[in-house]
Amino acid sequence: MKILEICRSMPWHMAGGLERHAWDLARGLAAAGDEVHLLTTPPSPWRSVPPMPPGLRLHSMSTGKPSAYSARSFRAFAREAEQLDAAHPFDVIHAQGFAAFALPPRFADRLAVTIHGTLFSETPLHAPLFRQLGWKRKIAALWRAKRRLAAAPLYARMLRRARVILVDSEFTRGELLRSRPALEPKIRVAPLGIPPERIRSAPHVERAPGGPIRLLSVGRVTPAKGFQVVLQALRLMPRAPWHWRVAGTGPALEPLRRRAEALGLGDWVEFLGEVDDARLDSLYAQSDLFLYPELSYPAFGLVALEALLAGLPVLASERGAIPEVVRPDCGWLVPGGDPPALARKLKELLANPSRIAETAARCRDLALERFSFERMIALTRAALEECAKAQGSECDL
């Protein structure tokens, strides 16, 4: 197949789950024998663009920002896609996220879109979260999401036009069908997978005898990630034997640092900021348990899968698609946003470190079996081939 992959941002723009997935997928499709053209925003002057493997061609737009969608960027994607299609007639157009909002109707009969969560599932406007807000916070949440609300008609049109809709979890499939049951015939589930070589299971660094249980969290530091819930839970814990490290940066980082100090947890909590891949591998090897206290409703839970592949069991919130990744044989779930419940489970596990070690021993093998990278590529290729072969048949516009 000749495939045009469209994605707003890539790992050379910013470090994020969507970016890594889009890059892994493009390379995986190219390695499977497809001719893949990758359309994205201009490169960042602060990050180098990696060399393109055989079968993969990069097309960087002349305008657009990787950090945010806008009407201008939607039009730019459409314009650039039309020019590329004229030069390299594609069998299928595959857009990640909302990048297909302004694509022309003539692409509809070969358009596949991958939805990483619905328009609101990972925001405060998601119904279970929105209902919990007071009226002032509801107004504030609506105001902050005004661009998403304005984009709702474009989102609905994109879903109608798409020949195939790919989702990475049963949770997202259910969320789509809850409001749009007519989409069922064209939804395909392709759970995410990560190339095993990207996350190597480094030899675990054993704890010193009697040393603290080493807790780790990784991710963008925002209120939705729930790190403040961990602080509240740790305040209920004995001051030993544990140590929590957080790798990542974001707008909530400094407030969290100050909060940890105010709670008297400064000696037991460490905020590391942004770390590179080598440092992250080292952190995985030097940790015993991964904490994933998510407050939103994730479409998949990629950070949990990365931890499992690194050989770390996961203690996570029972939110969104996380239970599809963190199962009883590789981790534990607690209600999201419940510090006492998190503290109780932590106390139970810290009192039985051998239980953590026994679970860790099987995490990587289970993750590789359940979320095979090859299976993700195969399922995605099957959906894209289905889309390509359907050209010319009736499409709902």
In the chain, the domains with their CATH numbers are 2-193+373-389 (3.40.50.2000), 198-370 (3.40.50.2000)
Residue pLDDT, tens place only, 311-366: 999 999 999 999 999 999 999 999 999 999 999 999 999 999 999 999 999 999 99
Under the banding of pLDDT at 50, 70 and 90, the label for residue 391 is: low
Under the banding of pLDDT at 50, 70 and 90, the label for residue 269 is: very high
For residue 288, is pLDDT > 90? yes
- What is the per-residue pLDDT for 120? 83
For residue 395, is pLDDT > 60? no
**pLDDT over 70, % of the chain:** 96
Q: Hunting for tokens 């905020």 — which residue is that? A: 271
Q: Where are the alpha helices (DSSP H) in 106-252?
A: 127-130, 135-144, 146-161, 170-179, 227-235
Q: Can you say whether residue 104 is alpha, beta or left, with left for phi > 0 and alpha for psi between -120 and 50 degrees?
A: beta
Q: Which of 272, 257, 262 is nearest to 219 (CA)?
A: 272
Q: Are 116 and 7 in contact (CB under 8 A)?
A: no
Distance CA 37, CA 91 (A): 11
Strand partners, 188: 166
pTM: 0.88
Residue pLDDT, tens place only, 104-153: 999 999 999 999 888 888 788 888 887 888 888 888 888 888 888 888 88
Phi, psi of 102 (to 5 degrees): -110, 10
- What is the per-residue pLDDT for 198? 77
